[in-house]
Amino acid sequence: MKHEFIYEALPTRVVFGDGKLAALPAEIEKLGAQRALVLSTPAQADWAGEVAKVLGQKCAGIFSQATMHTPVEVTLQAMEQVKKLEADCVVGLGGGSTIGLGKAIALRTGLPQIAVPTTYAGSEMTPILGQTENGIKTTLRDALVLPKTVIYDVSLTLSLPPALSATSGLNAMAHAVEALYAQDRNPIVSLMAEEGIAALAQALPGVIADPQDRQARAQAQYGAWLCGICLGSAGMALHHKLCHVLGGTFDLPHAETHAIMLPHTAAYNAPEAPQAMHRAARALKADNVAEGLWALAERIKAPRALKDIGMPESGIDKATELALKNPYWNPRPLTDKDIRALIRRAWAGEAPLA
């Protein structure tokens, strides 16, 4: 156990439970807001329309063009709507794309936001924003982008397709795995990390077997919430750096990229973080963390090769170069040879070097 640490709780109000979307009008009122701009992706525009009707006069309008990796040009379009409609808060419905857009607006305006997540990504619990401009994804940390309120309603995850449930769940687990060996880890976050990994590892096979299993869905959402706190409370390392490079450079789907990379990055860091990886393996009920993650990915039918989600083999060199470009802390030193080999194995879909 690490006996020197700093722990700072992030000030987000969490409303958790089945049917809690009904609390949205009251939560807008609690913020002192009157004109909410509802955000969604194009695929969830109809749902955004239904929510807008429920909000009635509390809804200023809808912006339904949220896009993966939060392109700056899309944010600027949304900003025009904010100003035109004189919105005084934003409500993000959906996954990381919509919640990222809400954060990008909050950064530029200071407006409070309510996040209503429908995936397990965890972005809603963090003061972190990733944005893409000219093909480069950058991240920043600012208290302004932390949602004021998060509403977790298990009923909203029932329609999340099994394939996306699997990758989104592994994406959430990545936050907890890295939090266990983070340079600024602390006992509270480590407890949450292990519990979050265990909850998701237990829930995801049930979710895949029966997407309408409310108990499994609630367990997965609980685990995702804990993993999201980990992401917001501890520094991330190799795994998140690589996923941002791969996603931003090759426009790869976010959750799938995390799902594929996680067993490989855990294997890479395990020798230099044995205690942390022992806790992760224990949560997975596995002897070895990388093997446990690889087996779970197979069981829930998650993709295991970057080549299968659109990354060209010719991109391995560029990804390696970008991953090493700006130095960052990681428990194991990074070398060109080792990172190139890791990315190549992940590209080919080979088992991690556990």
The predicted model scores a pTM of 0.92
Q: Which of 238, 237, 242 is nearest to 320 (CA)?
A: 242
Q: Which of 91, 99, 149 is nearest to 119 (CA)?
A: 99
State whether 264 and 339 are in the same domain: yes
Strands 149-152, 113-117: pairing kind: parallel
Number of domains in the chain: 2
State whether 313 and 213 are in the same domain: yes
Q: State residue 1's pLDDT score.
A: 53
Report yes or no on 94 lying in a domain: yes
Q: State residue 36's pLDDT score.
A: 98
Find where tokens 């224990």 sit: 282
State whether 170 and 58 are in the same domain: no
State whether 338 and 200 are in the same domain: yes
State whether 140 and 224 are in the same domain: no
Q: State residue 2's pLDDT score.
A: 54
Tell me the three state secondary structure of residue 139.
strand
Report yes or no on 267 lying in a domain: yes
- What residue type is assigned to position 170 of the chain? L
The CA-to-CA distance between both ends of the chain, in Å, stands at 24
Domain extent at residue 198: 162-348
Domain final residue pick, 157, 180, 201: 157
DSSP string, 23-87: GHHHHHHHTT-S-EEEE--GGGHHHHHHHHHHHGGGEEEEE----TT-BHHHHHHHHHHHHHHT-
Report yes or no on 331 lying in a domain: yes
The CA distance from 133 to 145, in Å, is 18
The CA distance from 84 to 148, in Å, is 23
Domain final residue pick, 109, 139, 157: 157
**In this structure, what CATH number is given to the domain that contains residue 84?**
3.40.50.1970
Q: State residue 320's pLDDT score.
A: 97
DSSP string, 176-220: HHHHHT-TT--HHHHHHHHHHHHHHHHHHHHHHH-TT-HHHHHHH
Positive/negative CA dihedral, 288, 294, 295, 299: positive
Domain final residue pick, 157, 179, 204: 157
Report yes or no on 286 lying in a domain: yes
Q: How many CB atoms lie within 10 A of CB 206?
A: 16
Q: State residue 302's pLDDT score.
A: 98
Per-residue pLDDT of the chain (354 residues; tens, 9 = 90+): 556 888 888 899 999 999 999 999 999 999 999 999 999 999 999 999 999 999 999 999 999 999 988 999 999 999 999 999 999 999 999 999 999 999 999 999 999 999 999 999 899 999 999 999 988 888 899 999 999 999 999 999 999 999 999 999 999 999 999 999 999 999 999 999 999 999 999 999 999 999 999 999 999 999 999 999 999 999 999 999 999 899 989 999 989 999 999 999 999 999 999 999 999 999 999 999 999 999 999 999 999 999 999 999 999 999 999 999 988 999 999 999 999 999 999 999 999 996
Report yes or no on 197 lying in a domain: yes
Find where tokens 């200071």 sit: 110
Q: State residue 94's pLDDT score.
A: 96
Q: State residue 301's pLDDT score.
A: 97
